Amino acid sequence: MRFEGKTVIVTGASAGMGYRIALDFANEGATVIAVARRKERLEELAKEAENLTGKILPYAGDVTTKEMAEGMIDYAVEQGGKLDILVNNAGIMDEFKPLTEMTDELWDKVMSVNLDGPVKAMRKALEVMLEQETGGNIVNIASIGGICGARAGAAYTASKHAMVGISKNTAFMYANNGIRCNVICPGGIETEIMSTQSDLSQFGLGRAMAGLDTSIPAGKTEDISSIVLLIASDEGKFINGSTIVVDGGVSCN
């Protein structure tokens, strides 16, 4: 029971990796604030966790707003008395659009979910974590698109590279304050994310798939969740500022 008495926020908890991460924390005793826009999905998740040692509390809304990013942290402190772990997982793709096909709207949308929302949440979380004796832990979910330029469109790639940078900077700045910050870069994982993409750039997709070893199977949500929990636990206490690639070897070629 690694997370008994811990308060955890997981964004993007209504589907995919976030759903699994929230359940796994609750299974190990945590009080989990589950954040996403689809309230009914969060309620299903909370129900699924009813027999677990910890609990899941839905907090529905759009993580791109300051009100929501700060509100979820206030709510976590209200419910658990402190905030131990923030998992910035909510994210969207960019239809593999290269810059020549990018619109202002798509750029802003991707940046606001994948970068601005997490940064707003981190700023508020750090305020809380710096004040509490127990420090805190931030785990950001980027992508292999955050370590290379080849596997997504321009906005997604830029947003995930920025998440890698901001995670390292945060880890270094607060390393003496009992606060850790790490970033995970998953490869392809079986979730809903591709089904949210309706207007794919054929050029961008073709370039992103070039040279990709498609014989390596996609991962499962638990392959990412287990690493999030490891990093956030005491077993991971010396992991700080790390970029952890979890992709079955896809990015080695």
Ligand X SMILES: NC(=O)c1ccc[n+]([C@@H]2O[C@H](COP(=O)([O-])OP(=O)(O)OC[C@H]3O[C@@H](n4cnc5c(N)ncnc54)[C@H](OP(=O)(O)O)[C@@H]3O)[C@@H](O)[C@H]2O)c1
Q: Which residues are catalytic?
A: 156
199: number of Cβ within 10 Å? 9
Alpha carbon 122 to its chain centroid, in Å, reads: 12
**Which of 9, 33, 73, 90: binder of ligand X (CB under 6 A)?**
90
Does residue 10 interact with ligand X by CB under 6 A? no
| Closest distance of CB 193 from ligand X, Å | 4
What is the radius of gyration, based on Cα positions, of the chain? 17
Helix axes 104-111, 154-173, angle to 10 degrees: 30
**At 34, is the secondary structure helix, strand, or coil?**
strand
**Which of 56, 92, 155, 171: binder of ligand X (CB under 6 A)?**
92
**Which of 64, 157, 167, 182: binder of ligand X (CB under 6 A)?**
64
* Cβ–Cβ < 8 Å for 117, 11: yes
Amino acid at 76: A
Window 185-204: residues binding ligand X (CB under 6 A): 186, 188-189, 191-193, 196
Q: Which residues pair with 58 in a beta bridge?
A: 34
Q: Segment contacting ligand X (CB under 6 A): 83-91, 100-108, 127-135, 200-208?
A: 83-91
Does residue 46 interact with ligand X by CB under 6 A? no
| Closest distance of CB 36 from ligand X, Å | 3
Rank residues 73 and 90 by Cβ distance to ligand X and give the closer one. 90
Distance CA 156, CA 64 (A): 15
**Which of 115, 121, 129, 141: binder of ligand X (CB under 6 A)?**
141
Distance CA 165, CA 9 (A): 21
Q: Would you tell me which residues interact with ligand X (CB under 6 A)?
A: 11-18, 36-38, 41, 62-64, 89-92, 113, 141, 143, 186, 188-189, 191-193, 196
